[in-house]
């Protein structure tokens, strides 16, 4: 079993010393570098570069610069995806975003983690579990989403949260660790004045 196959199976694998993984990660980082150097006015070139990086981008979408990821081919973007500055995705496992997902600045999605045992960690071993963000989710600034998490459709994650467990649909959740505060109600629909 290759290190890449071990990662896909949710087993400990060596990400630091496997030539294939190192080569793929370095290539992706070079594409991210190119994307981040593009003039912000060159929207079509930026979109084209993101489509080279990620596995799937249904579009329309916009990822503000800078953007960083590890492999790219494990990332799926739904329609009307928006991410503000400094999005980081460590996509050693699949990271799937649904439609109408909005992400504030300085957010990270981390599928990779390291063993608690120091000997295993010192060997360069890690694990990777997928992350899923369902449709119509809004993620506030500075949020960290950890390995294996699913965020349910229509939920809002408060700024600064560390999401280390699944969040159900249709709720406001926040904190470290992130926890459900309340359901989103009809009253929330009318909270802000409109012209």
- Active centre residues (catalytic): 114
- Edge-to-edge strands, sheet with 108-110: 67-69, 87-90, 108-110, 144-145, 162-163
83 vs 65: CA distance, rounded Å? 9
Q: Which residue has the tokens 């494990």?
A: 74
Structure tokens at 85: 């500055």
- DSSP secondary structure of 82-139: EE-SSEEEE-SS-EEE-TT-EE-SS-EEE-EE--SSHHHHHTTEEEE--EEE-TT-EE
Q: How far apart are CA 74 and CA 146, in angstroms?
A: 15
């Amino acid at each position: 079993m290759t290190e890449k196959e071990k990662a896909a199976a949710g087993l400990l694998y060596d990400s630091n010393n496997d030539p294939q993984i190192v080569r793929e990660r370095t290539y992706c980082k070079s594409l991210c570098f190119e994307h981040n150097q593009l003039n912000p006015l060159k929207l079509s070139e930026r979109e084209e570069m993101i489509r080279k990086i990620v596995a799937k981008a249904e579009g329309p979408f916009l990822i503000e610069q800078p953007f960083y990821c590890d492999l790219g081919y494990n990332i799926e973007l739904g329609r009307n995806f928006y991410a503000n500055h400094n999005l980081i995705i460590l996509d050693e496992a699949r990271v799937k975003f649904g439609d109408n997902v909005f992400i504030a600045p300085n957010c990270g999605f981390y599928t990779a983690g390291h063993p608690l045992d120091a000997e295993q960690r010192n060997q360069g071993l890690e694990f990777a579990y997928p992350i899923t963000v369902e449709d119509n989710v809004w993620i506030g600034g500075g949020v960290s989403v950890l390995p294996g998490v699913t965020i349910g459709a229509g939920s809002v994650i408060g700024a600064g949260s560390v999401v280390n467990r699944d969040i159900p649909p249709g709720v406001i959740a926040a904190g470290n660790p992130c926890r459900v505060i309340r359901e989103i109600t009809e009253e929330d629909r009318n909270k802000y004045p409109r012209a």
